[in-house]
Amino acid sequence: MPKLSYLKALNRALGDEMERDESVFVLGEDVNEAITFVTAGLLAKFGPDRIVETPLSEQAVANVATGAALAGRRPVVEFAIPFLLQLVLEQVANQANKFSVMSGGQARVPVTYLVSSAGWRPGWGGQHSDQPHGLFVHSGVKTVMPATPTDAYGLLVTAIRDDDPVVFIAPRIALDVREDVDYADLVPVPLGSARIHRPGGDVTVVAIGHHVHDALAVAKALDGEVSVEVFDPRSLYPFDWAALSESLSRTGRLVVIDDANRSCGVAAEIMATAAEEMRLVAPPRRITRPDGAVVGCNPDLDVVLQPSREQLAAAIRQVMKFEAAQTFRRSAST
């Protein structure tokens, strides 16, 4: 069975959708050179009218994509570095994402904003290591962050076919992940559908992006001590709250890991909604970057800021110990 890498999955999804639908085209900086590999081979196959090299003006590119979408095309804008999304927040959240509502559904803006390498990686420095997904979730923009090649393929296909703007974030650390794949089984993945990578009965770990692989490693290491369910949202907005509720109805304990900053993050929203609406037998825990964390240029300090497997294992043990401590206090008071 052939192996499919995350990057190749993105490339294949783009090629398949461009072959299927002539309205799909890609635009962005350096897409002709395919420096991220995402557009490799597509210029030769589809030509410069559909693999469109753009000037270094992200705001202009985002607005061109909005106009093209309003005119009936399905643009895919590639941003190689995540902070570029912050430059186009107004164009995406305040313009493209509101046209449909403001026009009573008469105008649709089917743009996909593909961030092909997001988050922290050693040596990338402070201005290239952001995780801006919370900004778009907060703004009500459809946002996905798959962790595996098959999900990357399926969600990118779905994003391109969606009639609304979709922000697609590919975590840098997941780009080299490979899966055994039967290409006939590559299918669209619905927005708002979570995936359980490993069932468990003691604690639900909601792992965002590449942290799915960290959660699986920690779950395996704790096997025999704690039964860990690894929950991958895949889609951050819309979020599969029904699936999380079902998971927590069995485990009653929640740990969330996300490499964005702590305050006002997606991890905080997941914990708050779970606390308000779902069954919990212990206070939830989250592992994130610290409040106000700014990744700099010192690799040793940068590593300290990143959520780790050790922190995840410690949080899992904490939520497990809480009920034991409560039981001890109740028995001691009787």
Percent of the chain with pLDDT over 90: 73
Query: Of 128, 133, 210, 213, which residue is the catalytic one?
Result: 128
Of 140, 152, 136, 162, the residue nearest 76 (C-alpha): 162
128 is catalytic: yes
Q: Is the pLDDT of residue 95 over 80?
A: yes
For residue 78, the cross-strand partners are 28, 114
The whole-model pTM stands at 0.93
Which positions ≥6 away from 257 have C-beta within 8 Å?
A: 205, 206, 207, 208, 211, 214, 215, 267, 286, 287, 288, 307, 311, 312, 315
42-64 pLDDT, tens digit each: 999 999 999 999 998 888 999 99
Report the pLDDT value the prediction gives residue 323, as an integer from 0 to 100.
63
Domains belonging to the chain, first-starting first, are: 3-185 (3.40.50.970), 195-330 (3.40.50.920)
Q: Which residue has the higher pLDDT, 173 or 8?
A: 8
Residue type, 45: K
For residue 180, the cross-strand partners are 3
For residue 237, the cross-strand partners are 143
Q: What is the mean pLDDT of residues 243-264?
A: 95
Tell me which of 13-22, 102-111, 193-202, 317-326 is least confident: 317-326
Q: Is the pLDDT of residue 78 over 90?
A: yes
- Average pLDDT over the chain, rounded to an integer: 91
Q: Is the pLDDT of residue 333 over 60?
A: no
Beginning with the edge strand found earlier in the chain, give each strand of the sheet holding 74-79 in spatial order: 51-53, 24-28, 74-79, 112-118, 166-171, 142-144, 235-237
Report the pLDDT value the prediction gives residue 325, as an integer from 0 to 100.
56
pLDDT band for position 126 (cuts 50, 70, 90):
low
Structure token digits, residue 259: 């490499």
Rg (CA), the chain: 21
Residue type, 221: A
197-235 pLDDT, tens digit each: 999 999 999 999 999 999 999 999 999 999 999 999 999
Report the pLDDT value the prediction gives residue 63, as an integer from 0 to 100.
94
Q: What is the mean pLDDT of residues 109-132?
A: 79
Report the pLDDT value the prediction gives residue 332, as an integer from 0 to 100.
44
Structure token digits, residue 175: 């780009």
Residue 243: enclosing H or E segment and its boundaries? helix 241-251
Q: What is the mean pLDDT of residues 92-100?
A: 93
